[in-house]
């Protein structure tokens, strides 16, 4: 059993990308957030793609579709949390 991953603040749903499945990397995700004043948005931690919409169902559907196909790997981080 692996230890739980802490979700970033504001994330309401997460989808593992294809890369996450292939590499067993729980950090390769598409994160969905509720936006202040306007619907939801998603951002891929692998390739950086994203979208937003006033329709939360549409956002979840497109986030999941993207995650199923994305093979991009998140950039490594230094021990201080900054990206290389």
Per-residue pLDDT of the chain (84 residues; tens, 9 = 90+): 455 678 889 999 999 999 999 999 888 999 999 998 789 999 999 999 999 999 999 999 999 999 999 999 888 776 665 555
Residues contacting 61, CB < 8 A, separation 6+ = none
Assessment of whether the complete model's pTM goes beyond 0.75: yes
Domain residue ranges of the chain, discontinuous segments joined by +? 11-69
φ and ψ of 32, to 5 deg: -105, 135
Could you tell me the strand order of the sheet in which 50-53 lies? 11-16, 29-34, 40-44, 50-53
């Amino acid at each position: 059993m692996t230890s739980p991953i802490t979700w970033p603040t504001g994330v309401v749903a997460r989808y593992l990308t294809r890369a996450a499945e292939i590499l067993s990397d729980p950090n390769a995700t598409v994160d969905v957030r509720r936006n202040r004043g306007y619907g939801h948005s998603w951002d891929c931690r692998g390739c950086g793609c994203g979208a937003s919409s006033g329709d939360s169902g549409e956002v979840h559907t497109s986030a999941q579709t993207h995650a199923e196909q994305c093979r991009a790997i998140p950039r490594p981080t230094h021990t201080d949390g900054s990206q290389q």
